Amino acid sequence: MKTYRIATIPGDGIGKEVVPAGQRVLDVLARASQRFGFDFENFDWGGDYYRQHGEMMPADGLDQLRDKDAVLFGSAGDPDIADHITLWGLRLKICQGLDQYANVRPTRILPGIDAPLKRCRPEDLNWVIVRENSEGEYSGVGGRVHQGHPIEVATDVSMMTRAGCERVIRFAFRLAQSRPRKLLTVITKSNAQRHAMVMWDEIAAEVAREFPDVSWDKEIVDAATARMVNRPASLDTIVATNLHADILSDLAAALAGSLGIAPTANLDPERRYPSMFEPIHGSAFDIMGRGLANPIGTFWSAVMLLEHLGEPEAAARLMAAIEQVTADPALHTRDLGGEATTAQVTDAVCTLLQGGSLRQAA
């Protein structure tokens, strides 16, 4: 029997609620499969760790993750610590340190979810956004000079490398090729950002020649927001820079019904290092510690984790259970307009995975 070594990093806020829920679901799935198992190791990194040690994770933290098969992550963000410290000290440190350069965000309107777009049928919205996850606007290059003086200056330099653009665009073409519509939209802003984004466009056109069976087009990022709302069915696979895709994917999550549902994978496609799977939402200070967090985003991330490990059947079983649960309004959490708790949703998914029915779970 294959045993996968998984690191769990709940982090902060509702991460501490949804990651244990995700671990429980994976355990139930493994026991039901009798084909594979999980060896979980939990890491208590995040805001509390920072208060004790002055850093979000230990200096050798990346080494502790290196031999894992995957990482299940919650959220980094603490009400009492500045966001750039929590984000850079934990999540970005892992993503960049393990060169997880492709951030993949599938978006669909799941059964039973009341999405905000009036004329959008569920079949009209089936996207995967690929976000460059290692450089660009979030390279961390820049600085501040003359702090506190009237002549204070601050810069954030977007670093775009040919190699970095090429690898993520090629990944996106490959992903588009694997989907039924074979359709890729490359997001750009080369009208206003006339150096790096022009190179990005050139590289897209070059890589496109390797994929004659994929139809592709270009869209300026601001126009892309309108297209997502007005013509959602015209999109399938989307690739964008770090900042552009960060913004577009929150819009995508909202259009699909809730931030609480959306999953993401931070992939090292070459598998030199473990990849990391997490819900896209943050720590949700307003509801943390109250058992109200929607765990579906974490469960869907677990589906992506299983696909990455090469367990497509288990992934499909979990996705089917998720969709059966979202289809039942009695199992909707507050973000979806319901009253169910994290525990009730988790119990329902576990019951289904064990071969039970939702009637028994209720």
Measured between alpha carbons, how far is 134 from 13 in angstroms, rounded to an integer? Answer: 25
Q: Which is nearer to Mn ion, 79 or 111 (CB)?
A: 79
Q: What does the chain come to in residues?
A: 362
Report which secondary-structure segment, H or E, holds 3: strand 2-11
Give the residue with the Cβ less far from Mn ion, 246 or 335.
Answer: 246
Q: Which does 286 bind (CB under 5 to 8 A by kind): Mn ion, ligand NAD, none?
A: ligand NAD
Residue 270 binds which entry of Mn ion, ligand NAD, none, CB below 5-8 Å type-dependent: none
Give me the torsion for CA of 95, 96, 101, 104, rounded to 10°.
Answer: 20
- Identify whether the C-beta of residue 71 lies closer than 8 Å to the C-beta of residue 275: yes
Residue placing its CB nearer to ligand NAD in the complex, 135 or 278: 278
Question: How far apart are CB 119 and ligand NAD at their closest, in Å?
Answer: 25
| 278 is a site residue for Mn ion (CB under 5 A) | no
The site partner of 246 among Mn ion, ligand NAD, none (C-beta below 5 to 8 Å per kind) is Mn ion
- Give the residue nearest to Mn ion (CB): 246
Q: Nearer to ligand NAD by C-beta: 9 or 207?
A: 9
Q: Which is nearer to Mn ion, 203 or 253 (CB)?
A: 253
- DSSP lists the bridge partners of residue 340 as none
Write b or e for each residue in 207-222: b if 16 or more Cβ atoms lie within 10 A of its Cβ, otherwise e. bbeebeebebebbbbe
Least Cβ distance, residue 126 to ligand NAD (angstroms): 22
User: CA of 39: how far to CAs of 23, 69, 330, in Å?
Assistant: 10, 10, 33
Between 236 and 246, whose beta carbon lies closer to Mn ion?
246
Question: Which among 261, 333, 177 is positioned nearest to 252, based on CA atoms?
Answer: 261
**Distance (Å, whole) CA 304 – CA 8:** 15
Contact of residue 342 among Mn ion, ligand NAD, none (CB under 5-8 Å per partner type): none
Q: φ and ψ at 278, to 5 degrees?
A: -160, 150
For Mn ion, the closer of residues 20 and 77 by Cβ is 77
For residue 128, the number of C-alpha atoms closer than 13 Å in the C-beta half-sphere is 22
In angstroms, give the least distance from the CB of 59 to ligand NAD: 21
Residue closer to ligand NAD, measured from CB, 232 or 297: 297
Per CB under 6 A, residues contacting ligand NAD are 14, 75-77, 83, 87, 91, 259-260, 278, 281-287, 293-294, 297, 333, 335
Q: Work out whether 246 is an interface residue with Mn ion (CB under 5 A).
A: yes
Contact region for Mn ion (CB under 5 A) — 88-96, 199-207, 246-254, 294-302?
246-254
The item of ligand NAD, Mn ion, none sharing an interface with residue 281, based on CB under 5 to 8 Å by kind, is: ligand NAD
The least distance separating ligand NAD from the CB of residue 100, rounded to whole angstroms, comes to 13
CA-to-CA dists, residue 31 to 182, 300, 345, angstroms:
36, 19, 19
Closest distance between ligand NAD and the C-beta of residue 295, in Å?
7
User: For helices 242-255 and 221-230, what crossing angle results, to 10°?
Assistant: 10
Cα→Cα distances 4→27, 68, 133, Å: 11, 8, 25
Q: Pull the structure tokens for residue 201.
A: 């466009």
* Residue 76 binding: pick among ligand NAD, Mn ion, none (C-beta 5-8 Å cut-off by kind): ligand NAD
Minimum CB distance to ligand NAD smaller for 136 or for 282: 282
Helix, strand, or coil (residue 92): helix
Q: Least distance (Å) from ligand NAD to the CB of residue 5?
A: 22
Residue type, 239: V
What character string, x for contact with Mn ion (CB under 5 A) and - otherwise, covers 203-242?
----------------------------------------
Residues of 303-316 as b/e, b for ≥16 C-beta within 10 angstroms? bbbbbbbebeebbe
Binding site for Mn ion (CB under 5 A): 246
